[in-house]
Amino acid sequence: MKDNFVNHLRPRFISDRALSVYYTFCLGGLSFLAFLMLGITGILLMFHYQPGTSSGFSSVLTIGSVIPYGSVIRNLHYWSAQLMVVTVNLHMVRVVWTHSYKPPKQLNWLVGVGLLVLVLVLDFTGYLLIGSQESGAAATVAANLLKQIPGLGTALAQIALGEPTALSGSTLIVYVWHCVALPLAAFWLQLYHFWRIRRDGGVRPL
Amino acid sequence: MAGQIECSRRTVLRFAWSGMVAVGALSVKPLVDYLTSKEDQPRTSLVAYEKSLVEKTDWQHVPNSRVWVMRDDQGIAALVATCTHLGCEVTYHPERKQWLCPCHGSIYDTDGRPVEGPAPKALPRAAVERKADGSLIINTEKQVGLDARL
């Protein structure tokens, strides 16, 4: 059964042209690699990070200064996130460049757009969790933007951000979105994204 | 011109595998250090008591700590309410003038000397100092004798 499952992960054949690095530059793969890295370092950071408008920033400082190897892990997390935003955007540019959004891949393009939004929101919530004054300003702007939506706005801001102060964007609610809900959604959507590539005929010039 | 390097797919994969194993082995110690670090937990042996304790009083509990303070004719003393048997937190019962341990029923007299049960030693006393504003600082790491007073 194990052999069966592992063998099903691989396609029956791959065309030579699909293996060309210069066609995709492996930007999606790099993004996924960054995502895995973010997952691993993120779980490690959760062991020492304490969300909250008063504790967030100081625990980030503690991780970065006194916890052994904490600054390595935090920097891996931070730079993987920066890398992922860059590679995801380049990946999108590549897909447009090679016309890979056209039928039969139109659904996967939409999935990709969803993933792009998820990655950007993850990046933003990560920025809020640093808990610095800048994050407080960013959270305030985001909350005020959401509150502009008539009717639902106030509730939406509460659900998305909790009650950040102008001095720190780190709240328990942002923490749960960033560490549990959004990564899980992004992970399953990515698996679907990859499966869809095979389903739509694999990577190949149309 | 350098000669062509023989490099089969198997060689490359084996090289990559050993690289991954090496990285994995090398990251064990950093990970253990990181995960077992208690640097971010507040760890101070100093307990503050906001009142100045000028009048004679029976044992008073210092909030959020295991420290109790009292003042008698000789002065102020502080006691750490950790059972000398297995470390449970004992409480003072003023009506009985005794310290009772909830775990194995050790009983101490009002000075903290063991009276009954498995407790082998008296409850530890800690050094007390007075700050400039009149409040007390108890150093739980600094043990003193039963008769020590501030």
- Name the token pair of A109: 């393009």
pLDDT in tens, B53-62: 788 889 999 8
Partners of residue A52 in chain B, C-beta under 8 Å = none
> Is the pLDDT assigned to residue A205 strictly greater than 60?
no
Give a yes or no: residue A170 inside a domain. yes
| B36 min Cα distance to partner chain A (Å) | 9
Give a yes or no: residue A155 inside a domain. yes
**Residue with structure tokens 């960013």?**
A138
Partners of residue A62 in chain B, C-beta under 8 Å = 39-40
| B32 min Cα distance to partner chain A (Å) | 9
Instruction: Specify whether the CB–CB gap between A71 and A121 falls below 8 A.
Output: no
N-to-C CA span, chain A: 35
Overall domain count for chain A: 1
CA A182 to chain centre: 8
Question: Which amino acid, B13?
Answer: L
Give a yes or no: residue A19 inside a domain. no
> Taking an 8 Å Cβ-Cβ cutoff, which residues of chain A contact chain B?
44, 47-48, 50, 59, 62-63, 66-70, 72-73
CA A51 vs CA A47, A91, A170, A184, B105: distances in Å: 11, 33, 6, 19, 41
Partners of residue A47 in chain B, C-beta under 8 Å = 34-35
Burial-class residue A174 by CB neighbours within 10 Å (0-12, 13-18, 19+).
buried
Q: CATH number, domain at A159?
A: 1.20.810.10
- Name the token pair of B61: 């509990």
Which residue among B30, B31, B40 places its CB closest to the CB of A48? B40
Fold designation for B46-144: Rieske Iron-sulfur Protein (2.102.10)
d(CA A171, CA B145): 47
Give a yes or no: residue A172 inside a domain. yes
Parent domain of A81: 25-199
Give a yes or no: residue A18 inside a domain. no
d(CA A48, CA A203): 41
pLDDT in tens, B35-83: 998 877 766 778 888 887 788 889 999 888 889 999 988 889 999 999 9
pLDDT in tens, A111-142: 999 999 999 999 999 999 999 999 999 999 99
Domain ranges of chain B: 7-40, 46-144
Give a yes or no: residue A121 inside a domain. yes
B39–A73: do the CB atoms touch at under 8 Å? Answer: no
Instruction: Specify whether the CB–CB gap between A200 and A174 falls below 8 A.
Output: no
**Residue with structure tokens 């449970």?**
B88
Lowest mean pLDDT among A15-24, A40-49, A186-195, B136-145: A15-24
Peptide bond into A104 cis (omega under 30): yes
Strands (E) in B52-123, as ranges, are 57-61, 67-71, 76-80, 91-93, 98-100, 107-109, 114-116
What is the structure's pLDDT at A16?
75
| A79 min Cα distance to partner chain B (Å) | 19
